[in-house]
Amino acid sequence: MNFIPGGLLPGAARRQGLVLGVRPHDVAVLPRGTGDLTASVEVVEPLGSELVVYLRLDEEVGGIELRAVTPPETAVEPDTVVGIRFDPARLHWFEPESGRRV
């Protein structure tokens, strides 16, 4: 699971004092200029039936590393910038101190 401090997220997704958890299969990799956040592609790992894409969010969102799992035909290359979007129905929020889901 990817974890992002909620206070770093932009706009309506911002949730001070909570941590966002999002599974790699719930991170959509989109063309640059689309999506909710921007990330740099560090590594693309082809696994046959899917790609594991290692991403780094912009520094304004903490420079956090994320992983996305995408279909194998996704057009993505290392050292490029992409947009990303999280499936809002699949987000998990946690209290950082206890780790309890809220």
102 in a structural domain: no
100 in a structural domain: no
Name the residue among 75, 86, 93 with its Cα closest to residue 35. 86
30 in a structural domain: yes
Res 61: pLDDT: 81
Q: What is the CATH number of the domain that holds 29?
A: 2.40.50.140
Task: Give tens-digit pLDDT for 18-30.
Answer: 999 999 999 999 9
Domain that holds residue 11: 2-94
Q: What percent of the chain has pLDDT over 90?
A: 80
- Identity of residue 79: D
User: Total domain count for the chain?
Assistant: 1
Question: What's the alpha-carbon Rg for the chain, to the nearest Å?
Answer: 13
99 in a structural domain: no
> pLDDT by residue for the chain (102 residues), tens digit each?
999 998 888 776 788 899 999 999 999 999 999 988 999 999 999 999 999 999 999 887 889 999 999 999 999 999 999 999 998 899 999 999 999 999
29 in a structural domain: yes
- Any alpha helices (H) in 39-79, and if so which ranges? none
For 88, other C-beta atoms within 10 Å of its C-beta total 11
17 in a structural domain: yes
31 in a structural domain: yes
